[in-house]
């Protein structure tokens, strides 16, 4: 645990050392049982091995020290397990880890972890989607400013903004559901198999572990790279939400706020401050994630049947990436659940430019008479005149002889939100179709 664990990560880690070792022990237990079922080792030996595959029997701290000599976690784990079995039955200890290689253990254990992580993220995505769905319904018609290049552009609704966040979450769900990355790794030293891990053993292992049967993928790492890319995209999507909220929290806008809590968001010197601390943590995670994804992508061109270094680069990188993404998920859910929306401030900010934000409406209304370019130039001149004279755009246009039947209508915010409401409704329906 670091000083900043609770700031960036989940309250309960989903990628602990203990969990990784438990998955490796599960591999060894199921390997022995599969080999016994195929008549390769005695059933009694398999049962003893399985009974010894318990995390509490391991000396984890000693194992960590031994990794530096073995080069990976599987080698000292198998050594410890063999000694544990030997203390119970010398004959059974002869059959520990028969035919398998270290990478079989590590990669399969990682696949079991990814399988659990996918379930965790799916549940969290469902939770976040529901929160965003409710926010979108609540603020479907709440007028606010849409901004481009950090400048006021034209009105939209806050519900449209939350709906686009919701749609990004739904895309992540579909993206994860479409991934075919899980698979058993059990092919021995160079991926060719051997008499102790023949096809029947592999089939029984895959069935008992709940993993698809796969051919050797020792040095073909596209499955891990795809998982990492998914997490990187997800972190970016969550970061986008945090970025929007942190900008809307600026004093000059004040349209939304993170939920208040004692001691949250304050300054060490400025009592008035209410900082976007949750957004900052999510954004920090989104900033760190691409480099981690890049490491997994960089580790793809591995040498021959097992890499020296590129395979090793995956282990901590993938764990860190999972933990950062999980932290962002939990924090985004909390952020959205506690979000404070200031509808009055949103509407007040719509009037900040004295009607300039309705210029597009006027330009489109004049296009049939003047054509797109001329209409644009005419309204642009009127905007400049409005700023120079300190008058509203509507006042300036009212002095001009324009072929517009109802000028007032073009300056009503709710008439300027385009397809916002229909788009929102389509996204809401898309969410409901997933239930």
Q: How many helices (H) and strands (E) does the chain have?
A: 17, 4
Report the C-alpha gap between 163 and 423 in whole angstroms: 8
Active site includes 306? yes
Backbone torsions φ then ψ of 154, nearest 5 degrees: -160, 160
Strand partners of residue 148: 151
Q: How many CB atoms lie within 10 A of CB 115?
A: 16
Catalytic residue among 175, 288, 306, 345: 306
Judge whether 245 and 332 are in contact, CB under 8 Å: no
Active site includes 363? no
Distance, C-alpha 37 to centroid of its chain: 41
**Strand segments (E) across 166-279:** 256-257
Report the C-alpha gap between 78 and 81 in whole angstroms: 5
Strand partners of residue 152: 147
Terminal alpha carbon distance of the chain: 38
Q: How many CB atoms lie within 10 A of CB 260?
A: 10
Report the C-alpha gap between 388 and 239 in whole angstroms: 39
Distance, C-alpha 124 to centroid of its chain: 10
Per the structure block, which two tokens stand in for 257? 């706020």
Cβ neighbourhood burial of 347 (10 Å; 0-12, 13-18, 19+): middle
Judge whether 286 and 238 are in contact, CB under 8 Å: yes
Per the structure block, which two tokens stand in for 365? 């209304």
Report the C-alpha gap between 196 and 202 in whole angstroms: 10
- The residue among 245, 317, 320 whose CA lies nearest residue 276 is 245
User: Which helix (H) or strand (E) segment is 330 a member of?
Assistant: helix 310-337
Judge whether 253 and 247 are in contact, CB under 8 Å: yes
Catalytic residue among 267, 294, 298, 430: 267
Report the sign of the C-alpha dihedral through residues 179, 184, 186, 192, in that order.
negative
> Catalytic residue positions?
267, 306
């Amino acid at each position: 645990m670091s000083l900043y664990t609770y700031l960036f990560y989940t309250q309960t880690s989903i990628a602990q050392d203990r969990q990784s070792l438990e998955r490796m022990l599960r591999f060894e237990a199921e390997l022995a049982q599969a080999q016994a079922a195929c008549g390769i080792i005695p059933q009694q030996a398999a049962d003893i091995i399985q009974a010894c595959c318990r995390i509490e029997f391991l000396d984890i701290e000693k194992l960590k020290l031994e990794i530096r000599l073995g080069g990976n976690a599987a080698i000292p784990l198998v050594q410890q397990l063999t000694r544990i079995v030997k203390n119970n039955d010398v004959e059974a200890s002869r059959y520990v880890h028969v035919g398998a290689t270290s990478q079989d253990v590590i990669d399969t254990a990682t696949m079991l972890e990814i399988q659990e992580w996918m379930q965790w993220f799916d549940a969290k995505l469902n939770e976040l989607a529901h929160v965003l769905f409710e926010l979108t319904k609540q603020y479907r018609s709440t007028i606010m400013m849409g901004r481009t290049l950090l400048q006021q552009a034209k009105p939209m609704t806050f519900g449209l903004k939350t709906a686009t966040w919701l749609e990004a979450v739904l895309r992540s769900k579909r993206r994860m559901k479409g991934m075919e990355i899980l698979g058993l790794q059990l092919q021995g030293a160079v991926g060719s198999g051997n008499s102790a891990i023949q096809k029947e053993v592999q089939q029984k292992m895959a069935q008992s572990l709940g993993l698809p049967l796969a051919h050797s993928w020792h040095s073909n790492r596209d499955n891990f790279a795809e998982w990492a890319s998914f997490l990187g995209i997800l972190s970016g999507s969550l970061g986008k939400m945090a970025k929007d909220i942190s900008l809307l929290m600026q004093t000059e806008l004040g349209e939304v706020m993170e939920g208040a809590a004692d001691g949250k968001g304050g300054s060490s010197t400025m009592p008035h401050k209410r900082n976007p601390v949750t957004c900052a943590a999510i954004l920090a995670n989104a900033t760190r994630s691409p480099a981690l994804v890049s490491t997994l992508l960089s580790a793809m061109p591995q040498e021959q049947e097992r890499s020296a270094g590129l395979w090793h680069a995956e282990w901590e990188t993938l764990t860190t990436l999972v933990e950062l993404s999980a932290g962002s998920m939990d924090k985004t859910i909390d952020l959205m659940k506690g979000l404070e929306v200031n509808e009055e401030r949103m509407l007040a900010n719509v009037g900040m430019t004295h009607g300039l934000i309705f210029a597009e409406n006027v330009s489109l209304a004049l296009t049939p008479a003047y054509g797109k370019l001329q209409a644009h130039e005419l309204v642009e001149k009127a905007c400049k005149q409005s700023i120079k004279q300190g008058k509203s755009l509507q006042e300036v246009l009212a002095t001009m002889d324009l072929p517009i039947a109802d000028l007032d209508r073009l300056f009503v915010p709710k008439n300027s939100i385009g397809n916002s409401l229909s788009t929102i409704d389509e996204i809401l329906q898309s969410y409901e179709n997933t239930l």
